[in-house]
Amino acid sequence: MRALALLPLLAVACTTPPPPTDHTTPTADTLVVKDTLIAEGEKHFKSLKKLTFGGDNAEAYWSFGGDKLIFQATNPAWGESCDQIYVFNPFTDDLKANPPQKISIHGGRTTCSYFLPGDSLVLFGSTHQGDAACPAHPERRSDGKYVWPIYPTFDIYVSDLKGNIRQQLTKAPGYDAEATVSPKGDRIVFTSMRDGDLELYTMKLDGSDVKRVTNTLGYDGGAFFSPDGTKLLWRASRPKDDAEAAEYKKLLKEGLVMPTNMELYVANADGTDAHKVSDLGQANWAPFWHPSGQKIIFASNHTATRGFPFTLYLINTDGTGLEQVSFSDQFDAFPVFSPDGKHLVFSSNRANGGNRETNLFLAEWQE
């Protein structure tokens, strides 16, 4: 699960939206009205459209054809109490009027969905074989540590768009999830506990030829192939000393991981030449490749004094050129470019009336 567990906490923590301001600017003959969803300074957003209207919605990923989005959501109005997978057309479907097509029809908690080449099949992580009920979320810890659960019953499945499971891709004991597909359409990258630590692996689309690509103690997850399929980008939490390593291992035995310190890494698709891109401190995560393959867009709270809000940034793959992208003073995360680079979908607490909703937004991107 690529950090959707953060959303309820952050939704509580975020401030309410500022009062509306008048963005009309008079010209010689008319009035130009600024898009009220766009915050001052968000120069990369030519327009911004709200796609969902309630619940917690995140991790929206594009079809290869760029005309569909698949995402995970917990929305009581849709009859669900934990994350489920849905698909829709962001350009034509009105989710305020009708709920999207549900794909995860077998129960359990689901996460990390992604289209396969041809756009008629998708993959996602699910716990349904372990139990059709939603697994329990960890109770608030007495030591105050913020943790994510690593459910051992997560495995990766392939489904058609009606929810019919076509194949189970992973069968190793322990957590297997966070799978994405190369734009080349030849391999899948995913996170697994099969060797005792949360490492990255790749495999062919049929689940064969599994290869481990990371070998360093700590959580490695949320990985994506570059636009040309030659490199990998991910987030990692690396213990800095023996005490942190011991704490990490102890939590892992409890099926937990603490995600409050993460940085971005890039490597060749086979794991060679791995190197850290960011060194900002706190949580830098939900990275995705800019269409150029030379930049990365990601979410970070490195300037926050209380751990929030999360803001979108761009950074060059060599760690230079950090640029702030979003300015909403709300939770902004999970940014994903469309295959043609013309649109960006992301999750945000903006324009939610001050409640705890996290919705999907669609921006027309401009450089």
Residues 7-46: pLDDT tens digits? 433 332 322 233 233 333 333 343 444 568 999 999 999 9
Matching residue, tokens 């060194």: 279
Q: Is residue 1 part of a domain?
A: no
Cα gap 62→334, rounded to integer Å: 12
Q: Is residue 125 part of a domain?
A: yes
**HSE value, Cβ hemisphere, 13 Å, CA-based, for 334:** 29
Q: Is residue 52 part of a domain?
A: yes
Q: Record the pTM.
A: 0.90
DSSP 278: -
Contact 158, 121 (CB under 8 A): yes
Q: Is residue 273 part of a domain?
A: yes
**HSE value, Cβ hemisphere, 13 Å, CA-based, for 282:** 13
Cα gap 97→110, rounded to integer Å: 24
Question: How is residue 218 written in tokens?
Answer: 């700590």
Q: Is residue 352 part of a domain?
A: yes
The pLDDT value given to residue 260: 87
Tell me how long the chain is. Answer: 367
Contact 78, 29 (CB under 8 A): no
The ranges of the chain with pLDDT < 50 are: 1-33
Q: Is residue 245 part of a domain?
A: yes
> Which DSSP string do the residues of 186-222 spell out, in sequence order?
SEEEEEE-TTSS-EEEEEETTS-S-EE---SSSEEEE
Cα gap 14→164, rounded to integer Å: 38
DSSP 249: H
Cα gap 142→67, rounded to integer Å: 46
**Parent domain of 146:** 6-365
The pLDDT value given to residue 158: 98
Residues facing residue 26 across a β-bridge: 31
Cα gap 267→346, rounded to integer Å: 25
Q: What are phi and psi of 6, to 5 degrees?
A: -70, -25
Contact 280, 300 (CB under 8 A): yes
The pLDDT value given to residue 141: 83
Question: How is residue 337 written in tokens?
Answer: 């470019």
Q: Which residues contact 91 (CB under 8 A, 6 or more apart)?
A: 67
Question: How is residue 277 written in tokens?
Answer: 């891109």
The pLDDT value given to residue 19: 29
Give the SS3 label for residue 134.
coil
Q: What b-and-e string marks burial along 126-141, b requiring 16 or more CB atoms within 10 Å of the CB?
A: bbbbeeeebbeeeeee
Q: Residue 309: is the preceding peptide bond cis (ω within 30°)?
A: yes
Which CATH number fits the domain that encloses residue 59?
2.120.10.30
Cα gap 274→218, rounded to integer Å: 14
Cα gap 327→88, rounded to integer Å: 28
Question: How is residue 13 written in tokens?
Answer: 């923590």
Cα gap 103→126, rounded to integer Å: 11
Q: Is residue 80 part of a domain?
A: yes
Q: For the chain, what is the domain count?
A: 1
Give the SS3 label for residue 347.
strand
